[in-house]
Structure 1
Amino acid sequence: MAQTPSPAAPVGANVKSAVRTVELLEFFAGRPGLHSLAEVQEALGYPKSSLYMLLRTLVELGWVETDVTGTRYGIGMRALLVGTAYIDGDEVVAATRPVLDRLSDETTETIHLARLDGVDVVYLATRASQHYLRPFTRVGRRLPAYSTSLGKALLATHTDEEIEKLLPERLEPLTEHTLTTRAALLEELHAIRERGYATDREENTLGLCCFAVDIPYRTPSRDAVSCSVPVARLTPGREQMIRDALFAARERLALATRHL
């Protein structure tokens, strides 16, 4: 006799559980270190009992780790493996690797490859500066697009109407130089379209200037490359050299990614 299948869980409950799992992992990814159950519950607003059960399940599966007391939680090793797999399998990262290496050698400064993700840019690859005084940005870091040269280079490939929809309600200042009004940002994006490159003059980090160009393998562009230079090392001649190197790299990047 055929067995009667057990009743399935409601679809809505499965979807809610999946959403909560993703939101929980994103919470830990955006807040390094370990956090108490109360901290997580306050931030996400989930019922404490169901949150505890979800955390315990994710700990058992390796997506979340705890301290020796078992009362504080953080992102687990399995999340690192999945993140690494994304980078390793990304065709753009692979195709642009030789160009990034060459740009790093030519400028001797810090080079970044980043992708637009909603209102932010996410760093996919970096090449460290050859100088003692240098910025540090890890792969996977997420920053507001409006405050970075990478983000502005990518926003500039969208129409003004698309940009209005992409931008957050409020442009929070990261430094005293950050553009915090839509009018000022749109004016800057118009200028970027004219000159062909974007700048971040201490808008994201004090003491640091960045220059970026988009990679035009799709329209609007999704990825961009930048060069970051401490203000103390940025002479007019060096700035021109970096711009020229970025324009040349953009041509090589367009060739390298034309099949994608």
Structure 2
Amino acid sequence: MAQQTAAAGAAAGNGVRGVKSAARTVEVLEVLAARGNEPVTVRELCDAMEAPRSSVYALLRTLTELGWVRSDSTHSLYSIGIRALLAGTTYLDTDPLLQVVQPHVDQVSRQLEETVHYGRLDRTDIVYLATHQSAAYERARNRVGRRLPAYSTSLGKAVLAHFDDQELEAHLPPVLTPLTPTTITSREALREDLAVTRERGYAIDDEENTPGLRCFGVALPIRSGITDALSCSVPLDRLTPEHEREIIAALRSTADVTLQIVRGLGGLLG
């Protein structure tokens, strides 16, 4: 419901009348996408959206018929449909910046023998657009399209560190919910962490998102307004001061090379 209200407010602020049914349709898809592999009931959707059952059920029927939502045989459980996958892959296939960044993500990951990510800020979350997994150890895969709170990741904090207080607040949820015991949950503590990030030039996620992992992130100023970043995730038992310095140097070098390529291409990237 908050997202729908925010969307309507943004439209009104631009002098454009928002379409409530369109906003509610998008909200249905976003709630389902956020649940991942967990199907939801109509009641759960109504509660999440603060919307009447009749409206939600009508939307679900239409979206199911069109392939954006799928249901079980009893039409009591719903999840994201195949059309959403097609839309997501099209975004990845047509993003010109991703085509530039992906080879460098792969290269630096092989060089460091660690997992490297490329992500983009979307409201309060970081969305993973590219990942190259380390071949040196097994870990849970960070799939492309995964969303995590920006405040709890090195990718997100590398971007948030470039914002003033007003911009920062626009990209934080009302409550900073802990993902681990070390997640920063105080706005004051987060601002202090971001100030340190600005000073040293890179962000650190110290088991704030996943226990046993430390992540380092650098911003990629390749768009108008900084929204993109690179990060490297390292199991603590593999991390030494020397390896940490190597990781930070490699991320900075990769960011510099990527920026030079993007500037060289100029308007070709749109």
**TM-score w.r.t. structure 2 length?**
0.86
8 Å contact from structure 1 (residues 134, 230) kept in 2: no
1:136 to 141, 166, 180: 141
Please show how residues 85-234 of structure 1 align to structure 2 within 5 Å: 85-218=90-223, 220-234=225-239
Q: In the alignment, what sits opposite 1:245?
A: 250
CA distance in 2, matches of 1:121, 1:14: 26
Matched, 1:256 2:266: no
Matched, 1:17 2:17: no
Distance 1:26 1:161, change over 3 A: closer
Structure 1 residue 213 displacement after superposition: 0.6
Give the structure with higher Rg (CA): 1
8 Å contact from structure 1 (residues 96, 256) kept in 2: no
8 Å contact from structure 1 (residues 215, 250) kept in 2: yes
Distance 1:14 1:244, change over 3 A: closer
Alignment coverage as a number of residue pairs: 248
Please show how residues 9-88 of structure 1 align to structure 2 within 5 Å: 15-32=19-36, 33-88=38-93
8 Å contact from structure 1 (residues 174, 205) kept in 2: yes
Distance 1:106 1:14, change over 3 A: closer
CA distance in 2, matches of 1:52, 1:159: 41
- Write out per-residue CA displacement over residues 127-173 of structure 1, whole angstroms, 9 at most, x where no aligned residue: 11112233421111111111110011001112234223432332222
8 Å contact from structure 1 (residues 153, 198) kept in 2: yes
| Unaligned residue ranges in structure 2 (runs of 5+) | 1-16
Task: Return structure 1 stretches of 4+ with deviation > 3 angstroms.
Answer: none
Distance 1:29 1:99, change over 3 A: same
| Bigger RCO (CA 8 Å, 6+ sep) | 1
Distance 1:160 1:17, change over 3 A: closer
Structure 1 residue 50 displacement after superposition: 2.7
CA distance in 2, matches of 1:109, 1:118: 28
Give percent identity, aligned residues only: 52
- Write out per-residue CA displacement over residues 206-230 of structure 1, whole angstroms, 9 at most, x where no aligned residue: 1111001111224541100100011
CA distance in 1, matches of 2:76, 2:68: 16
Distance 1:162 1:19, change over 3 A: closer
Distance 1:62 1:199, change over 3 A: same
| Unaligned residue ranges in structure 1 (runs of 5+) | 1-12
CA distance in 1, matches of 2:49, 2:187: 30
Q: Secondary structure at the match of 1:35?
A: coil
Distance 1:91 1:207, change over 3 A: same
Distance 1:99 1:15, change over 3 A: same
Aligned partner of 1:50: which letter?
S
Structure 1 residue 46 displacement after superposition: 2.4
Comparing 101-110 with 250-259, which one deviates more in the overlay? 250-259
